[in-house]
Amino acid sequence: MKFIVSSTALLSHLQAISRVINTKNSMAILDNFLFRLEGNSLTMTASDQETTMTTTIEVLEAEGQGLFAVSAKILLEPLKELPDQPLTFEINDENEKLLAAFKEANMIDNYEESSEKEGYYKITRPKPAAKTLPKELL
């Protein structure tokens, strides 16, 4: 699965729903955003089991569809440092890794050059298995 989205649009939507994520959750998966890509529509969900917030944006490009979760802390901090630009997300189904690639950042020295995409930098983290998500979120 692969999609390209505006970094600024993604950040504003994630910040809006991140308010529901608690600093200490009873389940580790609740520290994550749930992403669902269907066509050119990207739906993002955050929950604390009592309250669930969802937002949807249109992506610039999309290949495939699917569901994955990413830590709010891992994703929000780097997004705050990025100027408005296309942000490429690629999810490798074989090793379940997420690659978020971008060209420019305010603190570029904090990021590793991407070996997968020449001229890009990356944020890479393993994705949590969807089977650990509470069924209310699936």
Considering the entire predicted model, what is its pTM?
Answer: 0.77
Q: Which of 5-14, 57-66, 82-91, 94-103 has the lowest mean pLDDT?
A: 94-103
Of 29, 18, 5, the residue nearest 86 (C-alpha) = 5
